């Protein structure tokens, strides 16, 4: 009886030893990949940030209004944010690769999915950035046009333009990421349609006079109608 127990223990020990001996190199490889990946990701992020500073990326972000939006969201400066994103994408890639080298069941599929997810993530980020830049441009253009045309509620109009463009960008980015795809598309279509329908009804019922004034102002009967009597040039 004791011999059987001792034999079983010995066999279990042998199995454990063999398994551990086989796993240890993979563990060391994983740790090496993760550590090297961290170093490489940090180096690449540093290079990216240096290059962005060299090409005055923050100035571009200032001009496009991205800096202002980042400040409002309490995020770091544009060059630092970009470098941080590059670091995390690279290091997560190495991390998944390292974990994959352990040979754990299911990790290969997870790694593969992550690799396929990266391009979509970048496209989504690009859509968001372009969307916010466009939204800021639309906001300022609408605001200036409305103010210079003496339209009432200029800030409301321009804020609405920015909100709609931002909403469109967020919906497109989420759809790109595949996050609650159907819900996002449906919700966006309903919300956008509702806003537009609401505006149209509100303007039609309450803004008939305003519409008439705008049309009269832009399509006067006399072509030389003046906004003011001042001779500017």
Partner 1 sequence: MPVTSLLSDEMLRQVIAVGQADIAVGIPTLNHGGVIVDIVDAVTRCFRTHFPRERAVLLNVDGGSDDGTPELVLDPARDQRGNAGGGLRTVHRISARYAGLVSRTKEVQVAFAANELINARALAIIDPDCAVSPDSVAALLRPVLTEPCDFVTPVYARSWCEGALVSQLLRPVVRGVYGRSPLEPAAGEWACSARFASDGLPGELWDADLGPAGISLWMGTTALAGGYEARQVGLGLRPAPIRAMRAALPEVFSQVVGALFRSLELHAPYWVESRPPGSVPMIGQPTEAADDPDVPATEPLVESFRAGVRDLEPVLAEILQAETWQAVRALSESTEDVPAFGDALWSAVVYDFAAAYHRGAMHRDHLTKALVTPYLGRTAAFLAGYAGSPAGATAACEALGLEFERAKPHLVERWNPGGTQ
Angle at 194 between CA 190 and CA 195, to 5 degrees: 120
- Inter-residue contact 90 to 41 (CB < 8 Å): yes
Asked if 213 touches partner 1 (CB under 8 A), the answer is: no
Comparing CB distances to partner 1, the nearer of 221 and 224 is 224
Instruction: Tell the residue number behind the tokens 């020990």, with chain if given.
Output: 13
Q: Give the one residue of 33, 49, 65, 170 binding partner 1; rule: CB under 8 A.
A: 65
Region from 62-70, 79-87, 114-122, 184-192 binding partner 1, contact rule CB under 8 A? 62-70
Q: Give the one residue of 144, 179, 190, 202 binding partner 1; rule: CB under 8 A.
A: 144
Asked if 72 touches partner 1 (CB under 8 A), the answer is: no
Asked if 141 touches partner 1 (CB under 8 A), the answer is: yes
- Inter-residue contact 217 to 150 (CB < 8 Å): no
CB within 8 Å of 56: residues ≥ 6 apart: none
Asked if 145 touches partner 1 (CB under 8 A), the answer is: yes
CB within 8 Å of 108: residues ≥ 6 apart: 100
Kindly list the residues in this chain that would bind partner 1 in the complex (CB under 8 A). Answer: 59, 62-63, 65, 137, 140-141, 143-148, 150, 154-155, 223-224, 226-233
């Amino acid at each position: 009886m004791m011999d059987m127990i001792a034999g079983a223990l010995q066999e279990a020990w042998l199995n454990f030893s063999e398994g551990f001996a086989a796993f240890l190199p993979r563990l060391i490889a994983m740790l090496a990949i993760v550590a090297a990946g961290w170093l490489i990701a940090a180096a690449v992020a540093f290079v990216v940030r240096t290059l962005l500073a060299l090409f005055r990326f923050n100035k571009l972000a200032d001009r496009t209004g991205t800096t202002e939006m980042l400040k409002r969201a309490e995020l770091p400066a544009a060059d630092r944010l970009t470098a941080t994103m590059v670091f995390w994408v690279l290091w997560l890639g190495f991390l998944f690769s390292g974990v994959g080298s352990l040979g754990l069941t299911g990790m290969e599929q997870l790694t593969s999915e992550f690799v396929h997810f990266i391009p979509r993530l970048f496209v989504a980020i690009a859509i968001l950035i372009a969307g916010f830049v466009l939204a800021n441009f639309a906001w300022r253009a609408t605001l200036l046009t409305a103010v210079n045309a003496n339209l009432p509620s200029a800030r409301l109009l321009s804020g609405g333009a920015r909100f709609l463009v931002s909403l469109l960008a967020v919906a497109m980015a989420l759809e790109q990421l595949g996050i609650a795809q159907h819900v996002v598309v449906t919700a966006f279509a309903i919300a956008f349609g509702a806003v537009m329908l609401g505006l149209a009804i509100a303007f039609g019922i309450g803004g008939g006079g305003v519409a008439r004034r705008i049309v009269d102002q832009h399509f006067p009967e006399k072509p030389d109608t003046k906004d003011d009597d001042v001779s500017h040039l």
